Amino acid sequence: MNLRIEKIKDNPVNSLRRAGYIFQRKEGEEMIFIRPFSASGFPRFHIYAKIENFQLMLNIHLDVKKETYGKETRHHGEYKNEGILAEEVERIKKFLE
């Protein structure tokens, strides 16, 4: 699910940390954050964030479990704006807007 924050109040890294997210790494223009539910690391919310035209662009999804490898890589995630993901998006907005 994509989310656009037009008026950023604070540094996005600090705001997402206050919202409970952990900075993982930076890949090019994108910063990657996670918010795990348990010590095992899964399930977890996963955010790809970047600043574009003075706006914060977030791509957020829920990783239900770790990806599996074999002949094909399978990513076990939830991407629709419903249920727990919709609730998390509203919670994040409160920290960022």
- Residues 7-49 have pLDDT tens digits of 887 888 898 999 999 999 999 999 999 999 888 788 899 999 9
For residues 6-21, b (16+ Cβ closer than 10 Å) or e, as one string? eeeeeebeebbeebeb
Q: What are the φ/ψ torsions at residue 72 (nearest 5 degrees)?
A: -135, 145
Q: Which ranges of 19-75 does DSSP label H, i.e. alpha helix?
A: none
**pLDDT bucket at 54, cuts 50 / 70 / 90:** confident
Which CATH architecture group holds 2-96? 2-Layer Sandwich (3.30)
**pLDDT bucket at 71, cuts 50 / 70 / 90:** low
70 has pLDDT over 80: no
3-class secondary structure, 80:
coil
| Contact (Cβ atoms closer than 8 angstroms) between residue 21 and residue 45 | yes
Ranges of each domain in the chain:
2-96
pLDDT confidence of residue 80: 67
